[in-house]
Chain A
């Protein structure tokens, strides 16, 4: 996952890009004709220091390699933004970044 944080007017502009197929479970494999099982991110959680500030729930309609942009208020230099996602297979990833 790639995180980009820009500080602007006391806010942290957090952009997140996650590599994920976001399979809907409705597509068929063109070669075999079999349905490709759903595989998608269900939850993306952002925390500022240790406070959860965003809890986003996703469906299959979020595009492949999801991108999210949120603006967190009251952020100071040195604060930590943590991001955590989990998909429908239980796979998850966590990352954190210090605000410059």
Chain B
């Protein structure tokens, strides 16, 4: 095992420990199944496919008309773009938002319990004109829909 791999394993370990600590200090009990670990590989991935593979172990997406994604067609400021994803699909396990052309496409992935409406709204950065994907995991399968967002001022520059 080279040092890099060891370091990564160690980092993973510390992260797990600290996450458990935070949850415990907030008085939350943590069933490990619910509290999925933050995946470095998924958030570092440079393509939608590799991000999804690292996140959920598959990148096979089924286009679904049952997912709605609300995003502006033109975003003047790519640093703050409102994205809303909702679906009528039942048994949703997680909802994710990916920006295809960002250096790291995966922006957000929310695991939700059955007591949560399959709905999420947030604001993301979009570096340049790109497709934004809403990906829904239900019954072990991935469903998605996308919307093109045109960006006039990038959201990731310095």
Nearest A-chain residue to B97, judged by Cβ: A61
A52 to B28, CA, bound (A): 7
Residue among B106, B107, B113, B123 making CB contact with A52, cutoff 8 Å: B113
What total of chain B residues lie within 8 Å of the partner, measured CB to CB?
Answer: 49
A1 to B114, CA, bound (A): 26
A74-100 Cβ-contact flags toward B at 8 Å (1 or 0): 100000001010100010101000000
Distance to closest chain A CB from B29 (angstroms): 6
From 14 to 43 in chain A, residues with beta carbon under 8 angstroms from any chain B beta carbon are 24, 26-30, 36, 42-43
A73 to B38, CA, bound (A): 25
Interface: A7 (CB within 8 A): no
Contacts of B28 in A (CB 8 A): 45, 47, 50, 52, 82, 84
Interface: B5 (CB within 8 A): no
Evaluate contact between B110 and A74: CB separation under 8 angstroms.
Answer: no
What total of chain A residues lie within 8 Å of the partner, measured CB to CB?
Answer: 43
Distance to closest chain B CB from A84 (angstroms): 5
Given contacts A45-B28, A62-B108, A84-B26, is CB(A57)–CB(B38) below 8 Å? yes
Evaluate contact between B124 and A45: CB separation under 8 angstroms.
Answer: no
A70-B120, A71-B116 given; 7 more Cβ-contact pairs under 8 Å: A36-B158, A55-B36, A57-B109, A59-B43, A62-B108, A66-B122, A84-B26
Residues of B at under 8 Å CB distance from A? Answer: 18-19, 22-23, 25-31, 34-36, 38-39, 43, 79-81, 84, 99, 102-113, 115-117, 119-126, 155-158
**Pairs across A and B, CB under 8 Å, 18 listed:** A11-B117, A26-B103, A27-B158, A51-B113, A52-B29, A52-B34, A52-B35, A53-B113, A56-B109, A56-B110, A59-B43, A61-B99, A61-B106, A61-B124, A62-B107, A63-B124, A66-B123, A86-B22
